[in-house]
Amino acid sequence: MARKLRSKGNSIKQIANTLGVSKGSVSRWCNDIRLSEKQKKILTDFNTKIIKKGSLVASENKKRERRKRIEYFNNIGLNKVGLLNPRELFLVGCALYWAEGGKTQRKTVFINSDTEMILIYIKWVTECLDITKDRLICRVEINEKYCNKIGGIEKYWSEVT
């Protein structure tokens, strides 16, 4: 049966699973059977597909783990720091502006892509500097490769800010 399956182009692993034997046994039983180029290509394409699927699963697992770690450390930070009082907000805002703010123009500029940082900066500007939200202008710059997603990006930042 193993030789027949191998002659049809099945992989050693598929045959072993079908027959409930080891891959080594199947390999020994079928080592003299040569696959056609077409059969080899089918097996290669199948293996490539499986590898890509495994990579996607691994990537999603890593993303999920990273999100969990971020959430965990965010919770630790919130528990340790708590809510900022007005003085602390003023100092944090000054530090953010010092680190990420534009200082060559006669306007307040803040350059960052972190949503939370932008929200803290907006809170600082409105609460500590008494600048009303209607005076704020948000400019988003994106990489060319995201040009086809401009609508979604604009919607996201409009909702966030």
- Each residue's pLDDT tens digit, 53-62: 989 999 999 9
* 2-40 residue pLDDT tens: 888 888 888 888 899 999 999 999 999 998 988 888 888
Q: How far apart are CA 76 and CA 73, in angstroms?
A: 5
What's the pLDDT at 100? 86
Q: Which of 91, 98, 88, 5 is nearest to 43 (CA)?
A: 5
CB 90 within 8 A of CB 124: yes
Q: Does the global pTM surpass 0.75?
A: no
CB 46 within 8 A of CB 11: yes
Q: How far apart are CA 17 and CA 11, in angstroms?
A: 10
Domain range summary for the chain, segments of one domain joined by +: 83-161
Statement: residue 1 has pLDDT above 80: yes
DSSP for 45-59, please give it.
Answer: HHHHHHHHHHHHHHH
How many residues appear in the chain?
A: 161
Residue 15 CA to chain centroid, in angstroms?
37
Q: How far apart are CA 58 and CA 108, in angstroms?
A: 43
Count other Cβ atoms within 10 Å, centred on residue 5: 19
Q: Token pair for residue 113?
A: 């892509």
Statement: residue 142 has pLDDT above 90: no
Q: How far apart are CA 74 and CA 43, in angstroms?
A: 46
* 85-139 residue pLDDT tens: 999 999 999 999 998 888 777 777 888 888 889 999 999 999 999 999 888 888 8
Q: Token pair for residue 26?
A: 């199947």
- To the nearest whole number, what is the mean pLDDT of the chain? 89
Q: Which of 62, 83, 70 is nearest to 127 (CA)?
A: 83
Mean pLDDT of the region 55-80? 90
What's the pLDDT at 128? 95
